[in-house]
Structure 1
């Protein structure tokens, strides 16, 4: 595998400055959001896509793990100045900064995941998280014996309400009179990396009767899945496949193919097409995972229900509500 140029922590911007004195190579770059690339969730999915690109092409790329909100603008500018192209960033929180600076680097292509930025050199990659979460909700509804399930989100923002709303709709499709408990970890970016609080919320939901809990909380979700396993109830992972973290106790994972988004952007290089790219269920952008770690939890009836739901969503017979279309959730 070719060398991956890792620009991390406090040395990141210094390293970028030093590189400006040499020949700028048109390597792609990836900036992870807070929580780090090994969060076993969103960021790690992005890392997997970059790794696959290296393995298949022999190329090299630059990467940066965010340490604070203050780094966003400086990191983007320095990467653009050293010739990285395209520059891919994970997370809606880059939206404002990218909007401000994209026009300053018209020859650089940018890709932002989970946010729409309208600029002639920006590709905005969005997912139909509500569709994949609907499938997770169907599974939770069929597995729950108490009729009460839980949802724990990370930062309380409209994007994560898409997960919550789709999950609730899928659950209610199987248990119309059932109950969905909802909590969020916080209102700041720190909410993505607080597994202790995630565990506390999971235990609180279990005490209220939840026997399946869906964690859509980035690194915080590790604490949620752990607490659910400790309490003898089931959990649902998110973004990356987390079934293996607690085999037999993670009902499924709602995977969001951030890896494919990064791989495709790196492959396109400076020919990256601007505009909005929607990665939905039909296009393989979202899905649920059944593998050796959770197969015994998924009986034939559940698999049939999931398959029928997939076909209904992809074919348009099942309309899964997008919370961000009206900031409302009819299934709540």
Structure 2
């Protein structure tokens, strides 16, 4: 009798282990381009790995290079047995619906975009980028009350205007009489990975008496920072990661959209059965932020972190936005 009981317990425990193994998520993130030096894509990969580890699962990263490989990698992820496929970036907008329909038992999470047609197994994660950009604009204007401000985006699409227009709106909030310039774009064949072209655009703006530029152009942003370093008094607000240590004295702050936190949030909600079809994450959820909020002045090395009075005003404004006391206009109208 005792042997039967021990055997039954062993089978029960073994069965539970198998069930747990089967339930452990297999998560694949498909990036639109190689991770390379793209901090945003690297954050997405880190978030995918973190989400999988938190639930005892596994993670893989597929690095695409063009529309053909993006669709192929989405399909390959589903065929490979992924329970969750994360696609990061608007480049998948015209691809993900068809693939999601073909693999209805796989859950797809679209990060930073959402197609017009959304199958039942496709979930969309948006970010309120305009909130952090507005904060950065106010910060820059408070640091340089007599400055002239501009912004450079990778391409002229609504999402990028959340950065560029949000920044200039923040400048005007803090300093209504501040001078601003028309938003410029990197453009070209590789707008998010062409620092040389971005440097040319920035240099022209600096020569036009612009003092501070926000850049939202992926890996091209390094070219804008390089241009600022060569011109005394010129400063930049970077994006995606803390650029301040790479250019001491030239970077006021950085707007950091955190796809890693968005992916972890979405996977947690999906696996617990509480993920809505579309979710929006912003300052309140910590999914968008500034580098100055992520460490001390010595750690971040940002100009904004070193001015205690300005930093206090920026923190107060952040709370006012979270509390709804200050309304930030969404250039996308959402």
TM bracket, shorter-chain basis: 0.7 to 0.9
CA distance in 1: counterparts of 2:120 and 2:164, whole angstroms: 33
Q: Secondary structure at the match of 2:245?
A: helix
TM norm structure 1:
0.83
Contiguous gaps of at least 5 residues in structure 1:
1-22, 327-332
Q: Secondary structure at the match of 1:30?
A: strand
Q: Is the 8 A contact 1:108 1:270 kept in 2?
A: no
Over 3 Å counting, the alpha-carbon distance change for 1:270 and 1:75 in structure 2 is farther
Question: Displacement, 1:202?
Answer: 1.2
Q: Which is worse superposed, 101-110 or 42-51?
A: 42-51
- Higher relative CO (Cα under 8 Å, sequence separation at least 6) belongs to 1
Match of 1:67 in 2: 65
Deviations 1:169-197 (A, max 9, x none): 11011221222222111176x21111111
Q: Which is worse superposed, 295-304 or 281-290?
A: 295-304
CA distance in 1: counterparts of 2:77 and 2:270, whole angstroms: 15
Question: Displacement, 1:52?
Answer: 3.5
| 1:281 and 2:283 are equivalent in the alignment | yes
Match of 1:31 in 2: 30
Match of 1:150 in 2: 150
Q: Is the 8 A contact 2:251 2:303 kept in 1?
A: no
CA distance in 1: counterparts of 2:302 and 2:204, whole angstroms: 28
Q: Is the 8 A contact 1:199 1:227 kept in 2?
A: yes
TM norm structure 2:
0.83
Larger Rg, first or second structure (1 or 2): 2
| 1:258 and 2:259 are equivalent in the alignment | yes
1:105 to 95, 103, 106: 103
Q: Is the 8 A contact 1:44 1:240 kept in 2?
A: no
Question: Displacement, 1:318?
Answer: 0.9
Match of 2:140 in 1: 140
Deviations 1:189-208 (A, max 9, x none): x2111111111111111111
Q: Secondary structure at the match of 1:176?
A: coil
| 1:193 and 2:210 are equivalent in the alignment | no
Q: Is the 8 A contact 2:253 2:303 kept in 1?
A: no
- Number of aligned residues: 301
Within a 5 Å distance, the mapping from 1:83-232 to structure 2 comes to 83-117=81-115, 118-144=118-144, 146-181=146-181, 182-186=183-187, 190-232=190-232
Contiguous gaps of at least 5 residues in structure 2:
1-21
Q: Is the 8 A contact 1:28 1:266 kept in 2?
A: no
Question: Displacement, 1:53?
Answer: 4.1
Q: Which is worse superposed, 274-283 or 123-132?
A: 274-283
